[in-house]
Structure 1
Amino acid sequence: MGQAARVSYQSVKAKVLQSIRDSTWAPGTIIPGEVELAELFGCARATVNRAMRELAEEGILERKRKAGTLVKLSPTPRAKFDIPVIRDEIEQTGGVYRYALVKRVQSDVPSWLRAKLAMSEGDQALHLQCMHYHNNKPYQFEDRWINLEVVGSAAQIDFKDVGPNEWLLSEVPLTNAEITFAASRATKEIAEFLDSSEGDALFTTERITWIENRAVTFARLFYHLGYRLTTRI
C-alpha cells in the first residue's frame, strides 16, 4: 500500500491546525492550494479536500471561490463527530492493527438497500465483510455495501490489503453522514468472528454516507464485547 493511501484526513487536519497554532499560517493568511498540500503531506487530493472542508465547517478556515482558503481572523470552532479510520483508532492506543478481508461480492443492490439508499433496481453495489484486529484480538466486524453507481472506482479495488473504511475516507470526498448507535444480538457468524457467544449484546454502529444527495455506502459495524466509545464536545 502506498504512502498516499496511509495518510488520513485526520492527520492532514492535525498538521494544518499545528501550522495555524505555531503561526506558520497566521490569521488572515491564504494557505496553499489542495494540490500543493497533497504533495506536501504525501496524500491524495481528496484527503486534503475533506480535511479543508471540515476545518471550514468547524469555523477554522474560510473557503472563498477564486480567492482560495484562508485562516479566519476570529476562528469559531464547533464540536464535530468524526468518522474514525479504524487503523488510526487502534494505533493511537499503542496497539498493533491487523486487517482481513472475509468476503467481496459485486451484485445487484438488494431491495432493502435500494429503499434505504434511494437506489434503483439493477443498480450495482459491492458487498464487503472485513475483520479488524487489535493485537491479534477481534476488534470490529465490518459489513459494508458500496454504491458503485456513485463510486465506480471501488469495483477495481480488491480490498485485500486495505479496508473499505480506510480507502473511502482517503479517496472519496464524503459530505455528510447519518450514524446510529445501538446494541444488537450477535448472530452465529458474527459471534465466531468476534470470539463471543451467539446472542451476546454487541455495541453496533450503522452508518450511511453521502456525496451531497448521492448515497455512497451503508455499513454495519459490530464491536468486540466490552467495547466503549468515548468522545469529546
Structure 2
Amino acid sequence: MTKREANSWRLIRDEIVRRINERDWQPGDMIPNETDLAIEFECGRTTVNRALRELASEGIVIRKRKAGTRVALNPAHKAVFSIPVIREEVESSGASYRHSLLTAEQRHRPTFLAGAFRVADDTPLLYTETIHFSDNQPFIFEERYTSLEAVPTLGDMDHEAISVNEWLLQNAPYTGGEMSFFALKSDQKLAHAFGIAEGEALFATERSTWCEDQHITHVRLVYKPGYRMRAST
C-alpha cells in the first residue's frame, strides 16, 4: 500500500492487519505509536486512532493508556455479517419480490429498547411495520424504529417504490452494529401476518446500527415458519 493510498482509517486498519497476518509484527509485539504511524501514512493522528480503536474492539490489538499498542497474543475470532437487501435475498432464490408497508408513524423509543437502541428519550423516531413477500407468500415481518435525527430525509422516501430496509442501506452508511438471533412464539399479529396459529415457533433477528456515536435504526425481522439461516466463512 502506498502512502497516498493510506488516506482513510479503513485502509490503515487493513494495512495493520496485513502486517500482523504476515508476521511483520508478531503476537505480543509493540506496534509504532500513533504519531509515527500518522507520519508514515501521511494522515492525521485522529485517523490512525480510529483504525486502532477498531482493531482493539475486534480483539486484534491490545491498547493500554500510556503503555502503547501491542499485537494481541490470542486474537479474538469474530463472525462478521453483512446486512442483506431483502429484495435481493428473495430474488437470488429465483422468487419474485414485493413488500407491503403496514404502518409508518412517528413515535418515541419504547422503554424496552433502552439498552439496545441508545437514543435520547425525546428523539423523534419513525416506526414502520413491513411485510416482505417471496412469490406473494409472507417471507419476513419487519418492525423498525429509525432515528429521524440520524436520517432526516427518511420521511420523504417513496415507501411504495422501495422498502425501508433497502433505502437505509443506500442512504444511511453505518460504522458499527449489533445483532442477536432467537426463537419466539407467534403472537396474534405475527400469526395473522403469516397465516399460522398463535404460539407457533418462529426464527427472528434483531439488529441495531450506528454511525460513529449516532444510532440510526433498530429492527426486528421475523422469518416465515421453517426458515433456516445459512452463513459461510
- The TM-score with structure 2 as length reference comes to 0.66
Identify the residue that residue 182 of structure 1 maps to in structure 2.
Answer: 182
- 1:118 is displaced (CA, Å) by 2.3
Segments of 5+ residues of structure 2 without an aligned counterpart are 19-40, 44-77
Identify the residue that residue 213 of structure 2 maps to in structure 1.
Answer: 213
How many Å separate the matches in 2 of 1:137 and 1:93?
Answer: 14
Identify the residue that residue 138 of structure 1 maps to in structure 2.
Answer: 138
How many Å separate the matches in 2 of 1:228 and 1:152?
Answer: 35
Q: Partner letter of residue 127 of structure 2?
A: H
| Pair 1:188–1:65, CA change in 2 (3 A) | farther
Identify the residue that residue 149 of structure 2 maps to in structure 1.
Answer: 149
Higher relative contact order (CA 8 A, sep 6+): 1
Q: Partner letter of residue 93 of structure 1?
A: S
The answer to whether the 8 A contact 1:194-1:223 is kept is no
1:80-229 aligned within 5 A: 80-229=80-229
SS of 1:117's partner is coil
The answer to whether the 8 A contact 1:181-1:206 is kept is yes
How many Å separate the matches in 2 of 1:225 and 1:119?
Answer: 32
The answer to whether the 8 A contact 2:116-2:208 is kept is no
How many Å separate the matches in 2 of 1:81 and 1:148?
Answer: 25
Instruction: Give per-residue Cα distances to partners, 1:38-59, cap 9 Å, x unaligned.
Output: xxxxxxxxxxxxxxx69x8697
Instruction: Give per-residue Cα distances to partners, 1:190-216, cap 9 Å, x unaligned.
Output: 111112211111000011111122211
Alignment size in residue pairs: 176
- The TM-score with structure 1 as length reference comes to 0.66
Q: Over aligned residue pairs, what C-alpha RMSD do you find?
A: 3.1
1:61-76 aligned within 5 A: none
Segments of 5+ residues of structure 1 without an aligned counterpart are 1-26, 32-52, 67-77
SS of 1:89's partner is helix
How many Å separate the matches in 2 of 1:57 and 1:222?
Answer: 35
Q: Partner letter of residue 80 of structure 2?
A: K
Q: Partner letter of residue 123 of structure 2?
A: D
The answer to whether the 8 A contact 1:178-1:209 is kept is yes
SS of 1:116's partner is coil
Runs of 4+ in structure 1 off by over 6 angstroms are: none
- 1:176 is displaced (CA, Å) by 1.2
Instruction: Give per-residue Cα distances to partners, 1:2-43, cap 9 Å, x unaligned.
Output: xxxxxxxxxxxxxxxxxxxxxxxxx97x99xxxxxxxxxxxx
How many Å separate the matches in 2 of 1:227 and 1:182?
Answer: 12
| Pair 1:65–1:209, CA change in 2 (3 A) | farther
